[in-house]
Structure formats: structure tokens, C-alpha cells
Amino acid sequence: MSNGPIYQPTYPPSLAHVPDVEFAVKDPALIKAEAIADYQTAYLALTNIAKTLAPADPIRMLILTVCQLIVQLRVLIDQGCKMNLLKYSVGDFLTELAALYGPRADRVPAQAAKTTLEFTLTATMTVDTVITPGAQASTINELVFETTETIIIPAGEQSGSSPAECLTIGRVGNGYVPGQVSALVNWNQPFGVNVRNISETAGGADDEADDRYRYRTWLTPESFSTCGPEDAYRYWALRAHPDIIQCVVYSAPAIAGEAHLYPLLRGGQIPPPEVLAAVLAACNPRDKRPVADYVSVFTPQEVLYPIGLDWWALRENEIVIAEIQQKVDQAVDDWILWERGAIGADIIPDELVRRVIQAGAKRVAGTGSAPGAFVPVIPAYQDLAYNQLAVNDPDQKVVTFRGFEDP
């Protein structure tokens, strides 16, 4: 396990050194030139007459038609052969390739979003009220969540809650804040209730993406070991949920025997408690960890930073300033997402400035400070620890176009 920072920006980092291969030449120009040259050589050998095919020669047209078919066949041959290699394999071909490692290398299926539904009686009852699993509530766009546990509301009380899952599998069920799942769907009891979600819906995920699955397939051999390699813990963490893109594994000398895991979700999102519990359940069984290891799962520590920058454009670009402004705003948003794309990634303001200038700005400067008030500036470089994640404070983001300047 690592005793220092882990920075894992791409999948799979292990295959970066693997050279690109080509199983068949696919360049149409080369194929056409070779076919025409072969025809002219054969014609000379058979007739002792040198012949050059003119651009409009019918035989040349026939050869070019056949060459087009040859190009298409070679593309299929090259693509088909590459599906047998981990670096290139995609879709069902990648699933078949991973099957060499057995069931542990199966693609992680899509998962349903989860929340907690609270049911409130319209009036107190003199006896305990029982709501069996399967009670349903929906959002305004008719996504249905169904309870998974029995709810018992004691006599004299009015509310009780149960975990619930979205009946529509995938990420579509994520992001509904408390109160947005509030319409009863299949209620047929003799007493009246109101329902609402009391936690934001989260944990829904689509089928494991190819890039992530390819990386996990490469890690699969490590999963057969129970001697404590960090890649084994990382493999089982990725196996826990299809939206996990990174898992830092940390063990310091001061805590020998402890394995601290820090997962991160797609888009740099902090994993909710349900995902943390799934990672722990995946990594903690006795057949997946050393017997002396004590495994804990934590969320990354958010390091908030402000963004405040002024930018200027060249006067000659005045006519396209609206387009440049849109590109500058997008460049800032892309940099924010890039920064939170990996735990332990340093805050690099030079990359922000580079992207803004590349988007069309002439120059960039930090917003000035006002006496007695905080005004954000371009974030300073910061070396983050192994468990820290750079996150922009949305309340401290100011990007201002200041005007035009001459070169």
C-alpha cells in the first residue's frame, strides 16, 4: 500500500507504454497505388507492352472499385484483431476478453439510485401502523422509488421511514433533493399518508464504461492475491460501484496494519454513504484482504479554493467577443472539472491561465481586493496530500471580461 500521493488521471495508466499495432494496412492511397502498379507490371510481363492506366481508363475505374472493397475489408480485419487486445477492445468484445479471469471480472451492472422515504400519517392512530415493503412514491417526471423495508409507526406517532430504490436503473434517478419524491403511486391502505424523500437520491449508475472496465480488467490478476497489494484493494473498490473512477489506498507506518481507502466518483463527485458502504463490503471480506488488515473507507478531504480573474481581449476580436466569452467561461469550467478529476491532484493555476488564453483571451489577471471585503483571486499553486481533492467554492467564482486592448 502507498505511503504517499497517488495521482491517477487516466485509464489504464499501465497501458500507456504499450505500442500501437496495426494488423492490416488501411491507407486507401497506398492500396490503390499498389494495385495499379501490380496491374501495370503484370500487363508488361504478359504482353511485353508498357501500359500506364490513365485517370479515365475503365480498367483503372474497375481497380479503384475493387480497392474500395479491399480497404473496407482491411478495416474490418484490423478492428476484429484488435478486439482481442486489452488496449483496444470495447463493448461485448471487452466483456468476452475479461471473461478469461472468471466471474470476478464480469462487467459491473447498472445500479438503482437510493434514498430514504418518510411516510407521515394524516392523523395519529391508536394502534401501530404497518407499511409493508413495496410502497411507492414518484417524482414529478414519474420516476418511481419503492421501499425495501417494513415501516412500523407506533401508536400515537405520525411518521416512519424506510430505504427505497428507484425502479428505473441508472444515473437518471440521482440528484432529487429532499421533498422531490412526494407523489404516492400504489397506495391502497385504509389510512391516509403523505410521503417525501428525506435524503437526496444518489448511488444510481449506468453499466460500467469501457475505459473503466478495461482498467479494472488489467487489475484483475492483482485481485487473486490476499497479501495486501494496493492494486488488489483498488480492484475490489472499483468492483463495488460502476461510477467509481479512482480509489486511493493508503497505509502509513504510524498506522501499520490499517488500510485507508478513498474512493472518488465520476465527475469528481464525493461518494455518498451508500457507496462508501459498498466499497467496504467489497474490500473487507476475509478472502479479499490480509487477515491482519483493518480496512476503513473515507471520503476525500475537500480543499476549497476561490476563482476570481479578470481577462482582456484583443481589440481586433471585438466582432467575435460573444463567442470568445463563451469559450473562456467553458475553459474555466473545464479546468474546475479537471482539477477535481483525481484525488491528490495539485491545484495548478498556470493550467487555468493557459486554458483561458487558449480560449481567446489576450491576458489574465487576478481580481483585486476591496478593503473590508473578500474578493477572490486566481488560486495559488497548492500541493495536495494523498487524500485531498481540489474543489472550487461555487460562491467564490468570479470571471469578468474587462475590455479590449491593443496588441
The answer to whether position 165 is within a domain reads yes
Pair (93, 132) in one structural domain: no
pTM score, whole prediction: 0.66
Mean pLDDT of all residues in 177-192: 90
pLDDT at 398: 87
Cα–Cα distances (Å) from 21 to 14, 82, 87, 88, in that order, read 17, 8, 10, 10
Q: What is the pLDDT of residues 234-277, one digit of tens each?
A: 889 998 998 998 999 998 766 778 889 999 998 899 999 989 99
pLDDT given for residue 229 in this prediction: 75
Residue 2 pLDDT grade (very low, low, confident, very high; cuts 50, 70, 90): very low
Q: Using one digit for the tens of pLDDT, what is the confidence trace for 281-292?
A: 999 888 788 878
Q: Per the structure block, which three cell numbers stand in for 339? A: 482539477
**Structural domain contains residue 81:** yes
Domain identity same for 389 and 378 = yes
Q: Which residue has the higher pLDDT, 374 or 126?
A: 126
The answer to whether position 140 is within a domain reads yes
Mean of per-residue pLDDT scores for the chain:
88
Whether 57 shows a pLDDT value over 70: the answer reads yes
pLDDT at residue 6, as a whole number? 38
Helix crossing, 321-339 with 349-358: angle to 10°? Answer: 150
Say whether both 316 and 390 belong to one domain.
yes
Shared domain check, 50 and 93? yes
What mean pLDDT do residues 329-336 have? 94
Q: Are 309 and 401 within one domain?
A: yes
Instruction: Say if residue 37's pLDDT is above 80.
Output: yes
Structural domain contains residue 205: no
Specify whether 311 is located in the same domain as 387: yes
Q: Are residues 328 and 281 in the same domain?
A: no
> CB neighbours of 8 closer than 8 A, spacing ≥ 6?
246, 342
Virtual CA dihedral for 116, 119, 124, 125, nearest 10 degrees?
-100
pLDDT of residue 16: 72
Asked if 81 and 28 sit in the same domain, the reply is yes
Q: Are 396 and 317 members of one domain?
A: yes
Last residue of a domain, one of 76, 104, 132: 104
The answer to the question of residue 203 being in a domain is: no
> Which residues, in sequence order, are bridge partners of residue 391?
304
Average the pLDDT over 157-169 and give the result.
94
The pLDDT of 1-29, averaged and rounded, is: 67
| Residue where a domain terminates, one of 71, 104, 137 | 104
Q: What is the largest CA-CA distance in the chain?
A: 110
Any idea what the CATH number is for the domain that residue 247 is in? 3.30.300
**Does residue 211 belong to any structural domain of this protein?**
no
In a domain? residue 4: no
Region 125-148 average pLDDT: 93
Q: Which of 301, 332, 353 is a domain's end point?
A: 301
The domain total for the chain is: 4
> Are 76 and 129 within one domain?
no
- The more confidently predicted of residues 395 and 182 is 182
The residue ranking higher by pLDDT, 225 or 394, is 394
Radius of gyration of the chain (CA): 30
Task: For residue range 340-388, list pLDDT tens digits in order.
Answer: 999 999 999 999 999 999 999 999 988 654 444 444 467 888 999 999 9
Is 212 domain-assigned? Answer: no
Task: Say whether pLDDT at 9 is over 60.
Answer: no
For the beta carbon of residue 97, count every other beta carbon within 10 angstroms.
Answer: 19
Residue span of the structural domain in which 341 resides: 302-405
Same domain? 77 vs 124: no
Residues 297 and 316 in one domain: no
Residue 299 binned pLDDT confidence (cut-offs 50, 70, 90): very high
What's residue 369's pLDDT?
44
